[in-house]
Chain A
Amino acid sequence: MPLENYALAARAEMTRKSAPIFEKLFTTTAWLSALLVMSFFSWMVFDIAANGFAKISWSFLTEAPLSAGRKGGISTIIVSTLLILAVTIVVAVPLAIAVAVWLAEFSRREGFAARAIGITLDVLAGIPSIVFGLFGNAFFCVFLGLGFSILSGGLTLACMVLPILIRATEAGLRAAPNEWRQGGAALGLSKATTLWQVLLPAAAPAITAGLLLGIGRALAETAALIFTSGYVDRMPASLNDSGRALAVHIYDLSMNVPGGDQAAYGSTLILIFLLIVINASAIFITNRILKARIQPK
């Protein structure tokens, strides 16, 4: 393929008299596409920032929502969001570490079981969030009888973020040099001890980065939560209560509450702020790993 391409390109180049104009046109088009997208993006960000800052205050963060969220704050929403995230993390992290340890340390790399599990993880990562919502509703809310609750929402999100966590942890473990495993074996340590004392601590930054990405994904999620954790905006008394996540709050304010725009702007700014902090820390930690990694000779 490339040879004919070169020939065609060279011929076109030689026969074309007005090449400089086309060269300019090409550069301008590339600049324009970048500028167009960036100006659209900045328009969105500045609009949200300007309107959001006007709404945010200490009382907005610490008061419960009043009159369907038009007045008051988002304290109960923040609590519900944190509880949902907590359920997600408590369930997903141990599972993810276990699977990742098996994949990285115990499986035969191209073995049937490892490949089959890898494929199912890819499938899981590709399922659209609304379908996770359908599943969560049918399984956690109805079949297990958990109803619309923080528990149902958190468990649904746990299924969703599992592939992210597993892949990140697996990559962290695989990056640990083989000498460390051999060193453990030479000292007569069991594989379990080597894992616990050497490999998992070495993979800890990667696990943290993956965890942050997973939390970011869970925090951004709306579709999977509207019919698992529900809409109730009161302070949840337990994990069995329905609780409204921040993203669901934004959705409800803008779609179902006339005059809820300003509160929605405030909530959106908080959500974006949280996501930027989380993603930035994930990137920071990943860069630190790359720099700090001890290179075996």
Chain B
Amino acid sequence: MFRLPADKVLQRALFVVALLTASLVGLIILFVLRETLPALQSPGITRFVTDESWHPLEGKFGMLPMLWGTLFSTTLAVLLATPLGIGMAVFCRYVAPPALVSTFRGLVTLLAGIPSVVFGFWGLTVLVPLIARVEPPGASLLAASLILAIMILPTVALMSEAALAAIPESYAQGAAALGLGRRATVLRVMLPAAKSGIIAAVILATARALGETMAVLMVSGNVVETPTSLFAPIRTLTANIALEMAYATKFHRASLFVSGLVLTAVIMLLAWLAYRAEHHIQKATGVLHAA
């Protein structure tokens, strides 16, 4: 196609800007990697798993208690949020009176936009004292999981609802033709048909819970110990970074960057899995449409 010279210049300039912006990701990875380099030197990267405790100022760098803290709180949060979130999606789509639907969806969207520091603050001033009444200290694995669950609920609910909405009309018609009730239609036809989308929702919610920092930091007590009960305080890997970056130096600082890098890698992997799961549903429904 004919192009004016000015347009060619514009196109080249914009392309350069686009490339520079894209290389930002490379820059981020490069700089985080660069800061992890001191971790390869003495006392060595294996200390993260072989040391029995985390006392960086005394040369102990065991990260396993915090890894458990992250894994336990995330798992519990996902276990709580998944059934509730799917329940909310089903409610919104098949059960709620039509007048309520848009208000309900609006509130869930609002919930999704609340900053994590607000969840953390509210958890700390209201939820933690309540839990402390049952069993002190209150700031605990339970508090962290509850707050995380509330935070990832909108992701599960909104994405599951979108997956349910994407099911072709013919599925509902088929179910109706067989005389299925609402329960059977939803549980045995709709939810199985939306399975891939719902799995993607849960995976993305897991990624969000893994990367969450402030809310967990504020309600979990931050004691570096492998939790033995729901009421035990925990410290997650992300909270550890936020707490110690300010004064960490050398190997200590590098170890914080290592945990950040590993978390990012895991989150990227989850995002990719979620993408694959969603892609799967598109293919599946496409084939059914043709048939």
Contact = CB atoms under 8 A, between A and B. Distances in A.
Interface of A: 1-2, 5-6, 8-10, 12-13, 19, 22-23, 25-27, 29-34, 36-38, 40-41, 43-44, 47-48, 95, 98-99, 101-103, 106-107, 113, 116-117, 120-124, 126-135, 137-139, 143, 159, 162, 166, 190-192, 216, 219-223, 226-227, 247-248, 250-251, 254-255, 261, 264-265, 268, 271-272, 275-276, 279
Given A2-B193, A275-B113, A134 B11 contact: no
Contact of B17 (A102, A124, A227): A102
Contact of B175 (A9, A25, A264, A279): A9
B209 to A, nearest CB: 10
Contacts of B13: 98
A251 to B, nearest CB: 5
Interface residues of B, number: 93
B182 A26 contact: yes
Interface SS of chain B? helix
Contacts of B192: 1, 5
A223 B214 contact: yes
B183 A5 contact: no
A48 B118 contact: yes
A216 B113 contact: yes
10 contacts: A1-B193, A5-B188, A9-B175, A19-B183, A23-B183, A25-B183, A37-B108, A99-B21, A132-B28, A251-B218
B25 interface: yes
A268 B213 contact: no
Given A128-B264, A276-B110, A223 B6 contact: no
Nearest to A106: B11
B95 A12 contact: no
Contacts of B217: 255
A26 B4 contact: no
A190 B211 CA distance: 46
A26 B118 contact: no
Instruction: Pick from B31, B83, B115, B187 the residue with the most CB of A within 10 Å.
Output: B115
A95 B31 contact: no
B213 A124 contact: no
A98 B18 contact: yes
B84 A37 contact: yes
B64 interface: no
Contact of B271 (A19, A29, A122, A191): A122
B68 interface: no
A55 B87 CA distance: 37
Contact of A134 (B3, B35, B117, B214): B35
Nearest to A4: B192
Nearest to A254: B121
A154 B174 CA distance: 54
Contacts of B3: 191
B111 interface: yes
B208 to A, nearest CB: 8
B181 A129 contact: no
A6 B21 contact: no
A28 B150 CA distance: 21
A223 B207 CA distance: 16
A272 B114 contact: yes
B81 to A, nearest CB: 10
B124 interface: yes
A30 B87 contact: yes
Contacts of A279: 110, 113
